[in-house]
């Protein structure tokens, strides 16, 4: 069912941050940084996959994501909702259900046997596809999914995520140069503000996180091994 209410953008961001903190999907540790998939250190880590285990929060966030996309891109802008393997698959299914649209998913690479397909489900030439993922860091991983969608003859000009790092200035340019507009619910700045409001972490930890957010590349260079 398509949600009919449209919370203001800043309220969506605040509530999304609050929900992520409530289920302990947010991890801050400036003293012992996490290692990201890129191999670079970070005092922040977020696990959006946990959301699928919390029905009330999951449902609310999918309502938020659906109305955000419709408000920004249009109410009749899409014909197909595609999830990126693997984290995007459940969220794509939930958004597709709300929008009354077919759902597909995109493999990270061809499966290596049978049809050797990257697209699972029915996607056809000319369809306007929304790519749904859990989060984006710098936007780079989205490009392969977008290209796989376009290889079918469909178009993909929009991607929607629950969480966007929002600290690397090249992200939206990377996507924009590829003809893709990014839609998101909240960023690290929103989470930091809500964490401060709740007193969810000590002042030293929050200061360390803010230092990272202000200049992530310098922070990573200073905290990289060797």
Question: Torsion angle of alpha carbons 57, 59, 63, 65, nearest 10°?
Answer: 70
Cα–Cα distance for residue pair 133/11, rounded to 1 Å: 21
Tally the domains of the chain: 1
- Cβ–Cβ under 8 Å, residues 128 and 78: yes
The verdict on residue 221 lying in a domain is no
Q: What is the pLDDT of residue 38?
A: 72
Q: φ, ψ for residue 219 (rounded to 5)?
A: -60, -45
Question: Which residues 6+ apart lie within 8 Å of 171 measured at CB?
Answer: 136, 137, 138, 139, 164, 165, 182
For the chain, the C-alpha Rg in angstroms (whole number) is: 18
Percent of the chain with pLDDT over 70: 95
Question: What pLDDT was estimated at residue 158?
Answer: 98
- Provide the domain limits for residue 41: 21-207
In a domain, 181, yes or no: yes
Question: Where residue 96 sits, what CATH number does that domain have?
Answer: 3.40.50.2020
Residue 115 has pLDDT above 70, yes or no: no
Return the bridge partners of 106, or none: 84, 119
Residue 225 pLDDT greater than 80, yes or no: no
For the stretch 184-202, pLDDT in tens is: 999 999 999 999 999 999 9
Residue 123 lies in a domain: yes
Instruction: Give the global pTM.
Output: 0.93
Residue 4 has pLDDT above 70, yes or no: no
Q: Which two tokens stand for residue 42?
A: 């970070």
d(CA 136, CA 52): 18
What average pLDDT does this structure show over 116-134?
94
């Amino acid at each position: 069912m398509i949600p009919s209410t449209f919370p203001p953008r800043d309220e969506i961001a605040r509530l999304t941050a609050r929900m992520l903190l409530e289920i302990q999907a947010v991890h801050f540790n400036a003293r012992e940084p996490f290692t990201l998939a890129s191999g670079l250190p970070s005092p922040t880590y977020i696990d959006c996959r946990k959301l699928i285990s919390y029905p009330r929060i999951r449902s609310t966030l999918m309502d938020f994501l659906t109305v955000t996309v419709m408000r920004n891109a249009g109410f009749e802008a899409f014909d197909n909702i595609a999830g990126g393997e693997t984290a995007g698959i459940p969220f794509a299914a939930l958004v597709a259900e709300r929008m009354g649209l077919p759902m597909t998913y995109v493999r990270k690479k061809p499966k290596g046997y049978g049809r050797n397909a990257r697209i699972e489900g029915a996607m056809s030439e000319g369809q306007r596809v929304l790519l749904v993922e859990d989060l984006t860091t710098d936007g780079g991983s989205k490009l392969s999914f977008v290209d796989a969608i376009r290889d079918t003859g469909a178009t993909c000009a929009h991607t929607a995520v629950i969480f966007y790092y929002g600290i690397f200035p090249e992200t939206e340019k990377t996507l924009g140069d590829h003809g893709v507009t990014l839609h998101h619910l909240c960023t690290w700045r929103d989470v930091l503000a809500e964490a401060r409001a709740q007193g969810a972490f000590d002042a030293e930890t929050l200061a360390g996180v803010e230092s990272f957010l202000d200049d992530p590349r310098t922070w990573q260079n200073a905290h990289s091994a060797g």
